[in-house]
Each structure stands twice: as C-alpha cells, then as structure tokens.
C-alpha cells in the first residue's frame, strides 16, 4: 500500500481472488461465500490469519488490523445466524428428530444477551488494540527523541524546535496511521507549530543555501593569516576583503550552527587587585538608598569635564551631601592627577561628618587607587562604589553636574580662571539661594540647618 491505498498491482491481484468481490481505494469488499466459510472455520478454532492467507489474502498486504475488524463486523451483522442456518438447513428436521430420539435438546439460536456480550468483548479488544498502537507510537517517538539528543550532544548542541518537528515528520512517514497530534504531545511541541514548520519548508531550504554560502565566507575569514578570530573580527574582515555587509548576529548564528568556535580569552583573576593584593573595587554599600534621614551620613562624589578655551578641560571634583543636596566640597583642576581629588576630601574633613559616614563614588581610576583608599580610612569614612556600567548608582551627583552645566550655559569661550569663578558662584547660589521642591521649597543649606535643629 502507498499512502493508505492499494497500488494498481495489488488491486489487480486482489480482484483475481474468489474471496474478493471488489476493491476501492484502501478498502476490500469480500464475497458472501467467503464470509460464511471464514466464520465457519473461525468457529472450529482456526485463526483469522490462517483463514485469510489460505484464500490468498496475505497479511502483509491486507493488514492484521483489517482482518480483525472484518471478523468483528461480520459477527455484529448476524452473519453467525446466517451461518447456522446454512449449516443446519439441509437436515434440520431430521437432526431435530434424531436429537429428540437421543434425548438431547435441539440447537437454539443465540439469545440477545449472548450477542451483546460478544459485542462488548469485541469493543474491548478493539480498544486495547488502539491503546497498544498508541503506546507503540509513543515509545517510538521517545526513542527517536533520545537518539536525536545523543546525536546533538555529540555536536555540542541542544535540540531545537525544528529538530523535533523533523523527527515528528519522519515518524509519521514511517507510520502514517500514527497521530500527528499525539506525537506533538509526546515531544512537547504544538501541532500548529508543526504544520507551520511543514508549510515553510521551501523558505528554510533557501535559508540553508544562504547559510552555506555565508559559512564559506566565515571559514575563510576565520582562517585568514592563520589566526582565529571572533565574530566582530570576522564581520569586519568580510566587509573589508570581500565587500559584503553582514550583521554580527548573523555571523554568530552561523558560527553556532556549524560549530565554528573561537577561544575566549581567560579573565585575569588579578585584574581587580592592587599589586599588594588589596582589592581595587569596593562593594556597593549605598545601594541607591540616597536619603538616610540625617545630614552628614552619606556623601556622593564624582568628576566631570567642563570645556574651556585655554586648556583641554576644566576637571571638576565635587562632594555632595546626599540627604540635604548641599555641595560640601569642590575643586577645579587643569589635570586629572590625584591632588584635586584629595583636596576635596580635605574640604570634607573641615566641613565635618557623622562617625562612620559613607562616601560613595563610581569605579573610576582615582577612587580605586591606594592613595584614595588610605585617605578615606584615615578620615574614618566607609567607602562604597557603584557597580560597573550603572550610572544610576551615582545619580545624585550626576544630577547636580547636569543641572549646573545647563544653568551656567556654555563655557567653551571662557578661560580656566573665568570658568572656575563661574562655578564657585554657581555652587554658592545652589547651596544658599536655589530652592528645591524635594526639600520642601527651601535651599540645601537651610534644610541642613533645619535637620541640625531637629536632631538637637
């Protein structure tokens, strides 16, 4: 059979048999004589398979399930009664007379209860056959999934949805009677996804062709000059030497698909340490809790660049009280050398702070230096650092720098001294005259004084 239908050769062979009255597509219509004879032999204890094969109906062609269904249908259609009449009719009167003479009861027709029991038995057998077929399908699906996982594990890949859909298609082709819905349920994928995958077979084939072409380009770039490269270098090499613009993510996908790997440089375990083994980076103790409820407990510091005309930059270091918003220390410099950051700490020392106060900064080179660590410890402060790449951890001081640059205007036409004087004037204005809504409409200095009075 092909696709559930008999081939022309099979149909011709079946029609040549006396037991077959007709063949249509994938179904067979048997002759009445064969039905009666088959039931008679079945009642005598002969197996259905042997009965069909003796009539030329090979089980490989007809199918064992079809044979079972045929016998069940014939019994349901009262063919056993017809059989009994045909076998007993020639000598019905004589047999009955002889039975009475010998003292035996005449043969009685099966009653309705017996027929119902037989029907229930046949239904049970048919249900069990369907369950066995379903379990066989499930076992084959799980075996196929395991083989697929082992194959992909050898290639250091995990099964994708496409791999599982391909397995379902293969299992269904091997056994067309298996249910696609059941196979999808066993493998944990959706039936709609499987049919969508089948509908996009041509598009996948075209994409596979493109991937093979790109794989050749990637391998050429990967091996160029004998040095292995990562996805960025491969992308740039292809664009530079082959004039093909390709997306880096596309290069990464092709490399994963075909197992093209580049060694990853191992991280230096001492990168975050000083030479003597002390850590450069401190934990983020502040954790964005900017408002401790009292002045002098949390300070935020950072460095910003201000453009001027007679120097590359004016570098401004500032320290701000996180609770009051007051800028308690600041220093301008023409250089990024450490002294101007240290001067800010000295100003903070003169301003005063609570014992064990926290000073928070980003992970810049100044704040990871030995000199800064030692100075902070000497002053009795506790150092905290933002996480790498998280500017919001330092948001208070960043907000001040942004407002200052916006409100003082452009400075690239000013000299260093003029810009420094402008910043000094702005810091005094910011602390003593610029009211803030967060502080209840008062200035940072006034708010700090209010907190001191409340604490007293």
Average per-residue pLDDT for the chain: 84
- State residue 442's pLDDT score: 94
Higher pLDDT: 323 or 67? It is: 323
| H or E stretch covering 329 | strand 327-333
Is the separation of the CB atoms in 392 and 288 below 8 Å? Answer: yes
Domain ranges of the chain: 8-130, 131-199, 202-257, 298-455
- For the stretch 59-78, pLDDT in tens is 778 788 888 888 777 776 65
Of residues 158 and 201, more confidently modeled: 201
Q: Which residues of 303-338 are buried (b: 16+ CB within 10 A; e: fewer)?
A: bbebebeeeebbbbbbbbbbbbbbbbbbbbbeebee
Query: Do residues 317 and 333 touch, judged by C-beta distance below 8 A?
Result: yes
Secondary structure class of 5 (helix, strand, coil): strand
pLDDT attached to residue 111? 63
Compute the C-alpha angle 95/99/100, nearest 5°.
120
pTM above 0.85, yes or no: no
Lowest mean pLDDT among 101-115, 232-246, 369-383, 408-422: 101-115
Higher pLDDT among residues 76 and 107, named by residue = 76
**CB-based contact 334:311 (threshold 8 Å):** yes
| Residue-by-residue DSSP string for 84-127 | HHHHHGGGHHHHHHHHHHTTPPPP-PPPHHHHHHHHHHHHHHHH
What value does the mean pLDDT take over residues 118-137?
80
Residue 446: per-residue pLDDT: 94
Q: How confident is the model at residue 95 (pLDDT cuts 50, 70, 90)?
A: very low
Question: Tokens representing 173?
Answer: 């082709």
199 by Cβ neighbours in 10 Å (0-12 / 13-18 / 19+) ranks as: exposed
Question: Which of the two residues, 152 and 208, has the higher pLDDT score?
Answer: 208
One-character DSSP codes across 13-49: HHHTSTTEEEEETTEEEE-HHHHHHHHHHHHTT--HH
Q: What is the pLDDT of residue 172?
A: 82
Whether 116 shows a pLDDT value over 90: the answer reads no
Give the pLDDT confidence of 413-449 residue by residue, as tens digits. 999 999 999 999 999 999 999 999 999 999 999 999 9
Is 151 strand, coil or helix? helix
Mean pLDDT of 249-274: 78
CATH class of the domain comprising 298-455: alpha beta
Distance (Å, whole) CA 1 – CA 8: 10
């Amino acid at each position: 059979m092909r696709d559930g239908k008999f081939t022309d050769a099979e149909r011709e062979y079946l029609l040549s048999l006396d037991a077959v009255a007709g063949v249509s597509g994938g179904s067979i219509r048997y002759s009445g004589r064969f039905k009666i004879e088959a039931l008679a032999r079945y009642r005598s204890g002969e197996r259905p398979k042997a009965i069909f094969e003796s009539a030329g109906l090979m089980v490989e062609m007809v199918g064992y399930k079809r044979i079972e269904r045929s016998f069940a249908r014939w019994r349901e259609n009262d063919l056993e009664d017809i059989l009994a009449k045909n076998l007993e009719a020639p000598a019905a009167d004589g047999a009955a007379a002889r039975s009475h003479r010998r003292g035996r009861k005449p043969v009685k027709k099966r009653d309705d209860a017996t027929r119902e029991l037989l029907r229930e038995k046949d239904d049970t057998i048919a249900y069990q056959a369907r369950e066995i077929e379903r379990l066989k399908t499930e076992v084959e699906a799980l075996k196929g999934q395991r083989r697929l996982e082992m194959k992909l594990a050898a290639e250091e890949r995990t099964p994708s949805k496409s791999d599982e859909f391909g397995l379902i298609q293969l299992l269904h082709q091997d056994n067309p009677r298996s249910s696609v819905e059941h196979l999808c349920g066993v493998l944990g994928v959706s039936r709609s996804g499987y049919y969508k995958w089948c509908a996009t077979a041509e598009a996948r084939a075209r994409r596979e062709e493109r991937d093979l072409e790109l794989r050749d380009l990637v391998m050429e770039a990967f091996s160029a000059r004998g040095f292995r490269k990562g996805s960025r270098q491969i992308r740039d090499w292809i664009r530079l030497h082959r004039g093909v613009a390709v997306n880096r993510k596309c290069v990464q996908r092709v490399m994963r698909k075909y197992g093209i790997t580049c060694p990853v440089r191992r991280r230096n375990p001492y990168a975050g340490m000083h030479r003597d083994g002390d850590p450069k980076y401190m934990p983020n103790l502040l954790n964005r809790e900017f408002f401790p409820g009292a002045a002098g407990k949390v300070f935020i510091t950072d460095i910003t660049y201000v453009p001027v005309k007679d120097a590359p930059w004016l570098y401004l270091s500032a320290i701000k009280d996180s609770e009051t918003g007051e800028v308690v220390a600041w220093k301008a410099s023409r250089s990024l050398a450490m002294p101007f950051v240290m001067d800010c700490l000295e100003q903070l020392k003169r301003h005063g702070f609570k014992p064990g106060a926290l000073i928070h900064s980003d992970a810049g080179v100044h704040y990871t230096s030995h000199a800064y660590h030692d100075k902070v410890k000497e002053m009795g402060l506790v150092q905290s650092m933002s996480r790498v790449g998280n500017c919001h951890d330092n948001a208070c001081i960043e907000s001040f720098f942004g407002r200052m640059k916006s409100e003082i205007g452009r400075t690239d036409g000013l000299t260093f001294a003029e810009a420094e004087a402008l910043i000094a004037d702005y810091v005094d204005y910011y602390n003593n005259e610029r009211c803030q809504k967060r502080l209840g409409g008062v200035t940072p200095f006034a708010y700090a004084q209010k907190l001191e009075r409340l604490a007293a």
